[in-house]
Amino acid sequence: MDTTLNKNFSYPKHLKLLVTALTTLFLLFGIVVYFLKQMAFFSKLSETEGPISIELFYKHSGKTIFWIIPYNWITATIFTFLQFNSFIVFIFTDILLISISLILANRFQQLSKTLTKRQKIPQFHPDNASFWKNVRKDYCKLSSLLFLIDDHISLAIIFSYCLNFFSLLRFLTKLLRDSEQNLIVKFHDYCDALNFTLRIICLTLFSSWINEASQEPVAILNSVVEREYSAEVGRLLLQIGFDEVALTGCKMFKLNKGLFLNIVSAIVTYELIVIQYNNN
């Protein structure tokens, strides 16, 4: 599929650079937040327990695990490895979803650019019928590819939104209720909240770009001159109108710009309720 699209549209410019930059940014920032989390826990524990050892640190940070299995350097190493890897998996889940969104949105945008170039050439084209037929075929391929990908990553989308959304709500609740915290804990909390906020914003905006890019050909197709218009143009217009191309969370919600406003509205409503309860 990708080889065929590369022949028709060429490889999207700056796509690899953008994906690499976003991956590096989220990965580095995520690792910094992870180590800040350990420092914040160590600092908070030292305030309550006084001077602490490595064993005491692990028994408190993984008390559910070390209550079942005995602590030693092997179990502590395995626990650290699994904890760090689960953190990295959460980060790469978002990176994967953002990268898929970028690739698909760029492909739909390339289709629109092809139609725009065609529109700028005034003379009649002898290959008119075959051109519009190929354009509709390319649109069908991209739509089918997106629906296929959506079936496989819908659960990952729900997992990502739930994790980021509830982590952000937890921070806001903690911010309102726990005002007396040391500097390291506060710094970690703000960095953690910024991390989740950036991931929600990037995932929502880049995913909604797919829906926007898939609708761009409508304006171009509606302005096709009479001598260029054919049955294929009409079919393509109908297909774009009826097929709402967008990633979804198991068909329960669509990833578009309206979703971002819904998330902001839900956070504000939740915080108003928490503030009211605190005042009472």
Summarised one tens digit per residue, pLDDT across range 132-165 is: 888 888 888 888 888 999 999 999 999 998 888 8
CA–CA distance, 88 with 94 (Å, rounded to integer) = 10
State the pLDDT at residue 6. 58
* Comparison of pLDDT for 91 and 15, the residue scoring more: 91
User: Burial level of 164, CB count in 10 A (0-12/13-18/19+)?
Assistant: buried
Whether the per-residue pLDDT at 122 is higher than 60: the answer is no
CA–CA distance, 219 with 213 (Å, rounded to integer) = 12
Kindly state the percentage of the chain with pLDDT values over 90. Answer: 5
Q: Which amino acid is at 262?
A: N
State the pLDDT at residue 123. 54
Note whether 94 and 199 are within 8 A (CB). yes
pLDDT tens digits, residue range 53-81? 777 777 777 777 777 888 787 888 888 88
Note whether 270 and 169 are within 8 A (CB). yes
Question: Nearest to residue 163, comparing CAs of 206, 202, 126, 200?
Answer: 200
Note whether 188 and 47 are within 8 A (CB). no
Alpha helices in the chain (DSSP H): 2-9, 15-49, 54-61, 63-66, 73-120, 128-177, 183-215, 217-222, 231-242, 257-279
**Phi/psi at 254 (nearest 5 deg)?**
-100, 145
Note whether 254 and 248 are within 8 A (CB). yes
Model confidence band, residue 280 (pLDDT cutoffs 50, 70, 90): low
Average pLDDT over residues 98-114: 88
Q: Tell me the chain's radius of gyration from C-alpha atoms.
A: 25
pLDDT tens digits, residue range 170-223? 887 777 766 666 778 888 888 888 888 888 888 898 998 998 888 888 888 887
The residues, any chain, with a CB within 8 Å of residue 196's CB and separated by 6 or more, are 164, 167, 168, 171
State the pLDDT at residue 186. 82
- The tokens for 165 are 């959304």
State the pLDDT at residue 5. 60
Whether the per-residue pLDDT at 238 is higher than 80: the answer is yes
The residues, any chain, with a CB within 8 Å of residue 138's CB and separated by 6 or more, are 5, 8, 9, 111
Locate the domains of the chain by residue range. Answer: 2-39+89-279
pLDDT tens digits, residue range 240-269? 888 888 888 888 888 888 888 888 888 888
Whether the per-residue pLDDT at 10 is higher than 70: the answer is no
HEC string for 223-265: CCCCCCCCHHHHHHHHHHHHCCCCCECCCCCECCHHHHHHHHH
pLDDT tens digits, residue range 27-39? 998 888 888 888 8
State the pLDDT at residue 2. 59
Note whether 218 and 237 are within 8 A (CB). yes
Of 82-86, 126-130, 191-195, 241-245, minimum mean pLDDT range: 126-130
Model confidence band, residue 97 (pLDDT cutoffs 50, 70, 90): very high
Model confidence band, residue 121 (pLDDT cutoffs 50, 70, 90): low
